């Protein structure tokens, strides 16, 4: 997947700045959904063309326009033309490998985040770029796929509950970022449960499957770290700089998300240390098991050394060996071997080698 993304980025080589090229993996998902609301009214529409959302932008109510399907480059181009978005902003929307960041202009605010979801089947963390544009009374969100974590926000708007319907578009932006960060906690909880189960497996059953699980957890935590560390810088900017589209009363909520982000970073670092420690425990367990096996084999070989010597002496078949013609020669040699073997086992037990 990552190799394909980098391959798509290579298509931009030699193109001038502002060239609109989609760098993600094309899907069949495409949707333009609009939610227009205030504390008293609410309406929700699915549109066929971006031009149909123009009346909602001029509405005094808050409008949330969610665009799914970034492979529709012509739609993104129309949005830039109708709402006066800079070409570099449109380019960043289509370049789905952006680092989380925030950019200001006189009329809008542009935010890029990573939305993470946990795949229950593959136990992998799936990452998707979500771009947001905040205007005076509207918020655009841009997604590659239809899967998102925004449904609780839609539920609150539809049921007119919470502060979201009483505030302006900047509070909607806060709510969208907040639920993305809250979902990080959900993913970390699932990874934490896996780590707890893995701790027992590493000690009791250090198999190759355990190693694969450890490396998968390391990749998931690396994806989380790459998504969250830059987000801290984004929230630092949002909760300190007051702009024309974010008022002072809303800035305090962004400080709360910043605190949550610091907690997520701490948990990620703790889990990374635990997973790295599990790999060390696995290597130690395998080494200890190998040492135990070698110890048993060495003891067995040591016991058989004198027995082999006795058998070797009486297997030389020289003519003048007095015991060869003795009636009790064979039983005595076998008895001698048993006595030597038993005495060596007793000696090893007293030394606690066995």
**340's tokens:** 């030597």
CATH tag for 293-350 (out of 1.10.1200.10, 2.70.180.20, 1.20.58.340, 3.40.920.10): 1.20.58.340
Name the packing angle between helices 151-158 and 169-204 (round to 10°).
140
Quote the pLDDT of residue 174.
92
For residue 321, give Cα distances in angstroms to 100, 185, 306, 315. 90, 83, 20, 11
**Residue 324 or residue 52, greater confidence:** 52
CA distances 71 to 27, 142, 266, Å, are 8, 11, 36
| pLDDT at 250 exceeding the cut of 50 | yes
| Contact criterion met (CB below 8 Å) for 125 and 56 | no
Q: How confident is the model at residue 243 (pLDDT cuts 50, 70, 90)?
A: low
pLDDT at 72: 86
- Please check the confidence at residue 215 and state whether its pLDDT lies above 80: yes
The strand pairing partners of 111, in sequence order, are: 102, 132
Q: Is the Cβ–Cβ distance between 221 and 264 less than 8 Å?
A: no
Mean pLDDT for the stretch of residues 94-105:
88
**Percent of the chain at pLDDT exceeding 90:** 19
CB 156 within 8 A of CB 147: no
43 vs 58: CA distance, rounded Å: 15
Given this model, what pLDDT does residue 4 score?
Answer: 46
Q: End-to-end alpha-carbon separation of the chain, Å?
A: 52
For residue 235, which of 250, 263, 257 has the smallest C-alpha distance?
A: 257
Stretch 8-21: mean pLDDT: 64
Q: What is the structure's pLDDT at 49?
A: 85
Predicted local distance difference test score (pLDDT) of residue 111: 93
Q: Would you mind telling me the total number of residues written for the chain in this entry?
A: 354
Residue 16 is classified by DSSP as P
CA 112 centroid distance within chain: 18
Would you give the DSSP letter of residue 84?
A: T
Q: Give me the mean pLDDT over the 274-293 stretch.
A: 82
Tokens of 9: 């980025």
Fold match flag (2-284 vs 293-350): no
Q: What is the pLDDT of residue 8?
A: 59
CA distance 37 to 57: 12
State the average pLDDT over residues 125-138: 90
- 2 or 138, greater pLDDT: 138
pLDDT at position 3, please? 46
CA dist., res. 196 & res. 188, Å (int): 12
Within 10 A of 187 (CB to CB), how many other CB atoms are there?
A: 20
Fold (CATH) for 2-284: Beta Polymerase; domain 2 (3.30.460)
Least confident of 16-30, 71-85, 258-272: 16-30
Which whole number is the average pLDDT over 243-264? 84
- Lowest-confidence region among 13-27, 163-177, 268-282, 338-352: 13-27
Q: Do the strands 62-68 and 138-143 form a parallel or antiparallel pair, or are they unpaired?
A: parallel
- What local confidence, expressed as pLDDT, does residue 354 receive? 67
Task: Provide the percentage of residues in the chain whose pLDDT is more than 70.
Answer: 93
pLDDT of residue 18: 63
DSSP structure class, residue 342: H
CA pair distance 119, 337, nearest whole angstrom: 63
CB 243 within 8 A of CB 217: no
pLDDT of amino acid 328: 77
Query: pLDDT tens digits, residue range 27-71?
Result: 778 889 999 998 888 888 888 888 888 887 778 889 999 999 888
Q: What is the pLDDT of residue 305?
A: 86
Distance CA 38, CA 54 (A): 18
Q: For residue 1, name the pLDDT band (cuts at 50, 70, 90).
A: very low
Structure tokens at 226: 């790459």
* Residues 217 and 194 sit within 8 Å (Cβ to Cβ): yes
Q: CA separation (Å) from 125 to 116, 120, 186, 264? A: 6, 9, 11, 15
**Spans of all domains in the chain:** 2-284, 293-350
* Interval 130-138 mean pLDDT: 90
Inter-residue contact 15 to 21 (CB < 8 Å): yes
SS3 72: coil
- What pLDDT, on the 0 to 100 scale, is given for residue 249? 81
Asked if residue 71 lies in contact with residue 24, where contact means CB atoms within 8 angstroms, the answer is yes
Report how far apart, in Å, the C-alpha atoms of 237 and of each of 105, 173, 232, 234, 255 are. Answer: 14, 14, 9, 5, 10
- CA-nearest of 187, 261, 176 to 221 is 187
What's the mean per-residue pLDDT of the chain?
A: 84
Q: 252 falls in which pLDDT band (50, 70, 90)?
A: confident
């Amino acid at each position: 997947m990552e190799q394909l993304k980098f391959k798509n980025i290579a298509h931009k080589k030699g193109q001038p700045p502002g060239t609109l090229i989609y760098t993600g993996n094309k899907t069949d998902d495409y949707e333009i959904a609009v939610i227009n609301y205030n504390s008293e009214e609410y309406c929700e529409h699915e549109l066929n063309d971006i031009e149909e959302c123009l009346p909602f932008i001029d509405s005094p109510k808050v409008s949330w326009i969610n665009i799914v399907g970034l492979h529709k480059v012509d739609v993104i181009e129309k949005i830039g033309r109708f709402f006066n978005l800079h070409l570099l902003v449109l380019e960043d929307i289509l370049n789905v490998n952006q680092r989380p960041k925030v950019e200001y202009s006189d009329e809008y605010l542009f935010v890029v985040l990573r939305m993470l979801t946990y795949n229950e089947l593959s136990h992998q963390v799936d990452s998707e770029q979500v771009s947001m544009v905040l205007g005076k009374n509207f918020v655009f969100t841009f997604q590659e796929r239809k899967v998102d974590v925004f449904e609780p926000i839609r539920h609150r708007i539809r049921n007119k509950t919470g502060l979201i319907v009483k505030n302006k578009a900047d509070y909607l932006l806060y709510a969208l970022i907040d639920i993305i960060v809250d979902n990080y906690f959900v993913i970390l909880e699932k990874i934490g449960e896996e780590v707890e189960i893995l701790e027992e497996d590493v000690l009791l059953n250090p198999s190759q499957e355990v190693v694969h699980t450890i490396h998968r957890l390391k990749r998931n935590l690396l994806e989380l770290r790459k998504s969250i560390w830059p987000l801290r810088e984004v929230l630092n900017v949002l909760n300190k700089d007051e702009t024309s589209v974010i008022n002072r009363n809303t800035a305090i909520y962004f400080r709360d998300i910043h605190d949550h982000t610091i907690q997520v970073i701490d948990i990620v670092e703790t889990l990374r240390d635990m997973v790295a420690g599990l790999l060390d425990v696995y290597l130690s367990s395998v080494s200890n098991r190998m040492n135990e096996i070698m110890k048993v084999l060495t003891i067995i070989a040591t016991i058989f050394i004198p027995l082999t010597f006795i058998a070797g002496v009486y297997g030389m078949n020289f003519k003048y060996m007095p015991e060869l013609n003795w009636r009790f020669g064979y039983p005595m040699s076998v008895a001698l071997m048993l006595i030597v073997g038993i005495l060596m086992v007793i000696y090893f037990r007293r030394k606690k080698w066995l």
